[in-house]
C-alpha cells in the first residue's frame, strides 16, 4: 500500500474514522481524511471494495446542516465496499 494511503485514518480503527463504519464490511477498508467547519463537511480518501479494487472518493457538503451529512457519507462508502463483481 502506498505510504500516503497508509497515513490516512482507517475506518473503525483510528483517528477521525475510529468510530465510523464499525461492524460493517467497510471497517478497515476506508482510508479517509475528514474535515469540518461551520456549514461545511468534507472527506477525501480511498476505499477498497470486497474484491480488492480501490476507489478515490471525495465528499463536500456546503450547507448550514452539513453536520447531518455523515450518515449519507457512510452509506455511500459502504455501498462502494459491497459492490458486486459484474464478472460473476
CA 78-84-85 angle, to 5 degrees, is 135
Distance of CA 73 to the CA centre of its chain: 7
Question: Is 86 domain-assigned?
Answer: no
H or E, element range at 35:
strand 30-37
pLDDT in tens, the chain (88 residues): 789 999 999 999 999 999 999 999 999 999 999 999 999 999 999 999 999 999 999 999 999 999 999 999 999 999 999 998 766 4
Q: What is the pLDDT of residue 26?
A: 98
Question: Is 53 domain-assigned?
Answer: yes
Q: What is the pTM of this model?
A: 0.90
How many independent structural domains does the chain possess?
1
Question: Is 87 domain-assigned?
Answer: no
Q: What is the pLDDT of residue 87?
A: 64
- List the domain range (segments joined by +) for residue 37: 3-81
Amino acid at each position: 500500500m502506498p505510504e500516503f494511503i497508509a497515513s490516512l485514518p482507517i475506518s473503525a480503527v483510528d483517528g477521525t474514522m475510529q468510530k465510523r463504519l464499525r461492524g460493517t464490511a467497510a471497517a478497515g477498508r476506508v482510508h479517509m481524511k475528514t474535515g469540518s467547519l461551520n456549514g461545511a463537511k468534507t472527506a477525501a480518501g480511498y476505499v477498497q471494495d470486497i474484491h480488492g479494487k480501490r476507489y478515490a472518493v471525495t465528499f463536500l457538503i456546503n450547507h448550514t446542516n452539513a453536520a447531518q451529512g455523515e450518515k449519507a457519507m457512510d452509506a455511500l462508502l459502504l455501498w462502494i465496499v459491497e459492490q458486486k463483481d459484474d464478472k460473476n
